[in-house]
Structure formats: C-alpha cells, structure tokens
A = this chain, B = another copy of it.
Amino acid sequence: MNVNPVQLFDVDSSTFSYILVADDNTSAVIIDPVERHWQRDLAHLERLGLKLAYVLETHAHADHVTSAGKLVDVTGARAAVPSGCGIMPAEVQLKDGDVIRFGADERIEVLHTPGHTAGSVSYVWRGNVFTGDTLLIDGCGRTDFQSGSSQALYDSVIGKLFALPDTTRVWPGHDYKGQSVSTIGWEKRHNARLANRSKEDFGALMAALKLPKPILMDIAIPANQNLGLPHGA
C-alpha cells in the first residue's frame, strides 16, 4: 500500500516536517517539527483527529530550532531522538535497529546513518524513508561541521539507504528547489553527488564545497540539544 506522510514546509529554512498517520486513524508521529510552526502542526493533528504519540528528530539541526520540547509539553507525546546527538531531555534515545511503535500496527525502523552529523538517523515506515539531511533529493547534507564526515555519509547512503528497495519513497529534511519526494531507485541512478561515484571522488567533492556557516548555528544546535526548550527553564 502506498501510504504517504503529510509533508509540511517551513519557508524560512526550507525544512520539511512530516506527520505519519496510523492506519487505525487514532494517532500520529511527527518528524522534525519546526519551532515557529508548533501551533500549525497541532492544528493539523486536531483537524485529523489524531493523538500525537511521538516526536522524532533525525539529528540536532544547525539551521532551525525544533518544536519537539514544546509539542511534548503540550500533548504528552514522547520525544525519541538519535542517541548520538546529545539531545538530553528526550525520553527515548534511539540506536540503529530500534523500532518505534504507534497506533494499532505501525512500526518505524531506525537506521543509524551518520555523516551529516555523527548521530544522524533515518526512519523507515511503510515503504517510505525519512532521510533528514543524510540524503536529499538529487543531493545530500553538508559534512563539514558538527561531527560531519563525508566518508561516513557515503557509507550510510551507499550501504544502508541504497540497500532499501528501489521503490522506497525518499522524504528529505530539506529541499531548496521545490522538490518534494523521490525514490531510492531514482537517487541510486541520478543523485548528482552520490550516484555512480567512488568514495574518494565524493570526499573530494564535499571537501571542495566551502559552504558558509549557517547563520543560526550557534543558537540552533544548543537549543535543539534541549529539544528547543529554553535552557534552565
């Protein structure tokens, strides 16, 4: 069954958030919610008549602040985060192979996919993979700060994400070009950075990017490691 998430967008940071609806229509999970949209996202859950079971993060973001802590406070949902990201207040610290369950019969599998950050994970659910900034449509996340490693990202994408079935739908953490969804099969054949490229070539390509530091980085990372809640509050 082609079950898609509800894809939500933040224009300021070009961030995607996702609502995964349980097939029994009782509950949902949200992935990578954005601070300024917590009311929008709660309104979506309310309109759909869904209880929020989990807030998931793919990593500690450097370019926007999460609403995870706020959503947990307001709804009583649980926060589940990658164990390698230093996100301390989260109740559930995830590692590779863990399974998150919600609704009557939903299973989200955790894949540890380091490279954009050392802790980054991807989430697999009903033929979909939520890749955070590990794999983007026709691209990938940067690997030059925040414990990033182009070698690790290459291994994560080639070894883990490209090992998923070709029809798996890829839902990225960002897009800057109006793209919304892709598939593993397409990215394997066409991804401008990763298709048909050696690890050495990829390392050289990433090293040559020389990207500016995200404007919000020094605020966003510590904030996100506290689930977006004020420190000491």
- Identify the closest chain B residue to A7 (Cβ): B7
Given A180-B8, A183-B49, residue A167 in contact with residue B25 (CB < 8 A): yes
Given A47-B186, A49-B185, A185-B49, residue A5 in contact with residue B4 (CB < 8 A): yes
* Cα–Cα, bound, A5→B40 (Å): 20
Of the candidates B2, B22, B169, B181, the one whose C-beta lies within 8 Å of that of A3 is B2
What B residues does A137 contact at CB under 8 A?
A: 47
- Residues in A156-201 with C-beta less than 8 Å from chain B: 167, 169, 178-183, 185-186
What B residues does A205 contact at CB under 8 A?
A: none
What B residues does A101 contact at CB under 8 A?
A: none
Q: Quickly give the copy total for this chain.
A: 2
The proximity string for A residues 1-43 relative to B, scoring 1 for CB distances below 8 Å and 0 otherwise, is 1111111110100000000011101000000000001001001
* Cα–Cα, bound, A22→B186 (Å): 18
- Measured CB to CB, the closest approach of chain B to A187, in angstroms, equals 8
- Measured CB to CB, the closest approach of chain B to A168, in angstroms, equals 11
What B residues does A179 contact at CB under 8 A?
A: 40, 43-44
In the assembled complex, A46 has its CB within 8 A of some CB on chain B: yes
In the assembled complex, A216 has its CB within 8 A of some CB on chain B: no
Of the candidates B2, B5, B47, B182, the one whose C-beta lies within 8 Å of that of A23 is B2
- Measured CB to CB, the closest approach of chain B to A177, in angstroms, equals 8
* Cα–Cα, bound, A49→B187 (Å): 12
Whether B4 and A23, one on each chain, are in contact in the complex, defined by CB atoms closer than 8 angstroms, is: no
Whether B6 and A180, one on each chain, are in contact in the complex, defined by CB atoms closer than 8 angstroms, is: yes
* Cα–Cα, bound, A43→B47 (Å): 31
- Identify the closest chain B residue to A169 (Cβ): B48
Given A9-B9, A40-B179, A178-B37, residue A21 in contact with residue B47 (CB < 8 A): no
* Cα–Cα, bound, A198→B11 (Å): 38
Whether A4 and B4, one on each chain, are in contact in the complex, defined by CB atoms closer than 8 angstroms, is: yes
- Measured CB to CB, the closest approach of chain B to A15, in angstroms, equals 13
- Measured CB to CB, the closest approach of chain B to A33, in angstroms, equals 13
Can you add 7 more A-B contacts, CB < 8 Å, to A44-B179, A47-B137, A48-B182? A1-B3, A2-B21, A2-B22, A2-B23, A2-B25, A6-B181, A49-B183
